[in-house]
Amino acid sequence: MKKTTKIFSLILCAALALTLCACGKSNTESKPEAKDAYVGIDMNVACLVGPTGVGMTRLMQQSDDKKTANRYNFTVATAPDEISGKILTGELNIASVPTNLAAKLYKKSEGKITMLAVNTLSVLSILENGDTIKSVTDLKGKTIYSTGEGSNPEYILKYVLSAYGLEPSKDVTINFIAENDELTAKIISGEAEVAMVPEPLATTILTKKDTLKRAISLNDAWNSIATNGTNNAEYKDSKIMMGCVVALKSYVDEHKEQVDKFLSEYKESINYVNQNVEDAAALCEKYKIIPAAAVAKAAIPNCNIAFVDGKEMKSSIEGYFKVLFNADPTSIGGAMPAADFYYNAE
């Protein structure tokens, strides 16, 4: 009897052990419900020739190679006017535009546009035919030739001059030229000894005349003002931010995951361009962003291509917008953009 009881106990223990093992195996194999997989979409994206399009070139190549999360259909425009209307109608989903145009579109659309990220800082330089200009204060008494009357270049130049103690209408003469081709001719001929020129034109001009040099980076001059708070504490920590990417808020709300994925891939593209200048220059020529790879290679380091988003974007560009607004309120649509203009900045 004792022997039978002992055998029964052993069988019962074995059965219990098997049951526990089975339960343990079941718990191990059970998995939480998988989240829905990412779904890419067709996305119409536009950029401009020149600096604001440079950072997009790597993404263009990856899109052609079908290595992107979304299916991007790119448009390369030669002027902002080719883009602005199509953004408002939704024909374009995301576009690279000048930052002041983005503010105008926000105002015009009654707040329906959002700035996703800044992609270009300052592209302006003071070129000199000679070697007398070492700082902004050395511009006193000079005649500066420039394009961009009534737009960002004029406001940036006058702000920088004023911040360094020069009165634009008294201490400096500014000669505005209508077209870049005319400005180039005056610089090469020697008629314009000092000129403010944007990239990549500045780099192109420097290759045409040995006596020309890049005297001042407007980006460096502005940053010195912002950092030191010289005469303008209100604009401390501001930056020149000349290019950005925008979208309709309704589109972002409907496709937030895909838009965020675009921004991630776009940031990677910009980083690639800055770190692989020679390869990026070839892509600039391939996608007609800058006509020649040799020019692009020399210009990219001076184009200040960047990716700035969120709170940093908002805090850095608000001071810049204040400068434009104080110079001419219509330059940004007649009013400072509200906080909801800036994507993910809260």
Cα Rg for the chain, rounded, in angstroms? Answer: 28
User: 77: closest CA among 109, 103, 44?
Assistant: 44
The predicted pLDDT at position 220 comes to 93
The predicted pLDDT at position 10 comes to 40
The predicted pLDDT at position 329 comes to 95
CA–CA dist 157, 154 (Å, integer): 5
The predicted pLDDT at position 346 comes to 84
Residues 6+ apart with CB under 8 A from 25: none
* Cis bond upstream, residue 200 (ω within 30): yes
CB-neighbour burial class of residue 131 (10 A; exposed 0-12, middle 13-18, buried 19+): exposed
Question: Which architecture characterizes domain 124-235 according to CATH?
Answer: 3-Layer(aba) Sandwich (3.40)
The predicted pLDDT at position 6 comes to 43
The predicted pLDDT at position 83 comes to 94
Task: Quote the tokens at residue 123.
Answer: 């592209």
The predicted pLDDT at position 13 comes to 41
Range(s) within the chain of domains with CATH label 3.40.190.10:
42-121+241-341, 124-235
The predicted pLDDT at position 8 comes to 39
- CA angle (262, 70, 77) in 5-degree steps: 70
260 SS3 class = helix
User: 54: closest CA among 217, 266, 343?
Assistant: 266
Question: Which architecture characterizes domain 42-121+241-341 according to CATH?
Answer: 3-Layer(aba) Sandwich (3.40)
The predicted pLDDT at position 36 comes to 65
pLDDT averaged per 10 residues in sequence order, the chain, 346 residues? 42 39 43 66 96 96 96 95 95 96 96 98 95 95 95 92 93 95 95 96 92 95 75 70 97 97 98 97 97 95 96 94 94 96 94
pTM for the whole structure: 0.85
